[in-house]
Structure 1
Amino acid sequence: MIKVGILGANGRMGRVLIEAAHAHNKTALGFASVRANSSFIGMDAGELAGIARQHISVSEISSDTIEHADVLIDFTLPEALGQNLRLAVDAQKPIVIGTTGLNKDQLNMIDEAAKYIPVVFAANYSVGINLMLNLVKQAATVMGNDADIEIIEGHHRFKKDSPSGTAMAIGHSIADSLGRDLDKCAIYGREGVSDERRRETIGFATVRAGDIVGDHTALFATLGERLEITHKASSRLTFANGALTASCWIKEQAKGLYSMQDVLGLV
């Protein structure tokens, strides 16, 4: 059994990860950590996640804490990433990162950490989404030069970053297939009267409402037809189980930066 350490255990994904690790046939919970001075410190991790007692107390993240796990899983906030990576590197622990909304400096931190430890970093750990990333590449190759391309995504009302990390990953997959620079061709909003849509642009539309777990559609539309490739997640367990699959896989890898596509053998 691979012992996983859950960082940010009190978050929406953190709680689901505890539940998934308990049910998984190849993993066990090593520790569950929260930020310093959190009111959840000392609580049983199972009770925090709403499942059976795990007899593991929620603790503050520290160099001592992470010695209880073989692999770390980080679905926390961007501002916590630097400390978590430093602890992982110092302890030589592989880490699976699902935090989104990262800026260029934070992405560089991941690149730097991967020089010393194995790192899996993905915008989305669902198997279906990672298959979708391959499908949109194929669609872009066949239709991309003739079609208008739009990416529509929806998440719950509490999600902070927009567009979602998954939507951006879909955009990058399409842009790379077409030899375009997404930073230059992306359109993130339309308002008022504008010129005719330019074919080379890739549009993004964002929905934030209710408890939507995660909906993503890549739309390729010509004047005569349209192709829609859609993925809808109905449970966060989809992402948690994917992260656990990545944790089992990364345990056996050399230092370096990997994606969920690597984990699933899609590249």
Structure 2
Amino acid sequence: MGADNIRVAISGATGRMGRQLIQSLLLKSNCYKSVVFTAAITNSNSKFIGSDVGRLIDGRSVGIVIHDSIEDIYKDFDILIDFSSSQATLNYLKSCNMYNKNMVIGTTGFTEEEFVFIKKTSQKIGIVFSPNFSIMVNVMLKLLEKATSIIGGMSDIKIIELHHRNKKDIPSGTALKIRQSILSVLFGSDNKKVRNMFSKMNNDYDIDIHSMRAGGFVGEHNVLFANDGESLEVIHRGFDRSIFASGAIYSALWLGVLKVGLFDMVNVLGLDEI
């Protein structure tokens, strides 16, 4: 293994995104060939504990055993990519803080207090935190900021989001981030009317979020601007979870082992410079 390679562990390895990340890493796309998949973690109740991760993908052995604790594998990785559950993420975060390991967090459903803990931990380790690692979703956020600055004040604004039937958090973290971005443009990021992205309801300004859970939809977000004479819709549709895996792996490459602080996909993609 080369000196510049980054060793990555996956937490939530047996979930939808965990399996997608493992598959993407094993395929070794040239765009992240310097990332080496070295460890996997899942919850302690999983039937896959002690199994080879290849069992999750195509049955072939790849020589990486699934564990249920970072303590078992902390010497085997540099960065943890986490798509698990909010409580599991916080536990993994404590361990990464202890062992000085950077994290890429794609888990959603945190409370404001839990996010404060994530932010505090980022004073010691590097964290890329994003409710959505799709490159196009994050470009969409920049487009929405521009659209809001032009027509937001003259429009009713609604957000509609659709995900698979098993997604637990409602609204989605991406929908909450979209609303936060729009409100920041309308009122300024420091204005008291701008509720944080973890608030489920907003009473200061009427941007409703309509959530649907059905079938196997990967994810769709539709933002509607409407007035009496016309309307504009900005829509993103995800067709495959590989888009999130690619963004998370790219974020791990960008973060590396030396960066310290709290970052998001805007930082990773350089969109803050636009």
- Same-fold call, TM > 0.5? yes
- Residues 157-197 of structure 1, C-alpha deviations (whole Å, 9 max, x = no match): 0011111000001111100011163439x9969xxxxxxxx
2:73 to 55, 65, 68: 65
**Count of matched residue positions in the alignment of Structure 1 and Structure 2:** 258
What does residue 117 of structure 2 align with?
109
What does residue 34 of structure 2 align with?
26
- Residues 45-75 of structure 1, C-alpha deviations (whole Å, 9 max, x = no match): 1221336432111112222312211110111
Residue identity matched to 1:133: L
Following superposition of structure 1 onto structure 2, how do residues 6-155 of structure 1 map, counting pairs within 5 Å? 6-24=10-28, 25-50=33-58, 52-155=60-163
What does residue 210 of structure 2 align with?
205
Contact kept in structure 1, 2:180 and 2:195, CA below 8 Å: no
Distance 2:106 2:158 in 1: 24
Distance 2:45 2:211 in 1: 35
Distance 1:231 1:70 in 2: 33
User: Within the alignment, does 1:172 sit opposite 2:180 as a pair?
Assistant: yes
Contact kept in structure 2, 1:8 and 1:14, CA below 8 Å: yes
| Identical residues among aligned pairs (%) | 38
Deviation at 1:36, TM superposition (A): 2.1
- Residues 120-152 of structure 1, C-alpha deviations (whole Å, 9 max, x = no match): 000000000000110100010000000000000
Residue identity matched to 1:73: I
TM superposition score normalised by structure 2: 0.89
Contact kept in structure 1, 2:129 and 2:263, CA below 8 Å: yes
- Residues 234-254 of structure 1, C-alpha deviations (whole Å, 9 max, x = no match): 111100110000000000552
Deviation at 1:13, TM superposition (A): 0.7
- Residues 77-132 of structure 1, C-alpha deviations (whole Å, 9 max, x = no match): 01112211111111111100011011112101111110100000000000000001
Distance 2:150 2:205 in 1: 15
Distance 1:87 1:235 in 2: 31
Following superposition of structure 1 onto structure 2, how do residues 150-161 of structure 1 map, counting pairs within 5 Å? 150-161=158-169
Could you tell me which runs of 5 or more consecutive residues in structure 2 were left unpaired when the two chains were aligned: none
TM superposition score normalised by structure 1: 0.91
Contact kept in structure 2, 1:187 and 1:203, CA below 8 Å: no
RMSD: 2.0
Could you tell me which runs of 5 or more consecutive residues in structure 1 were left unpaired when the two chains were aligned: 190-197
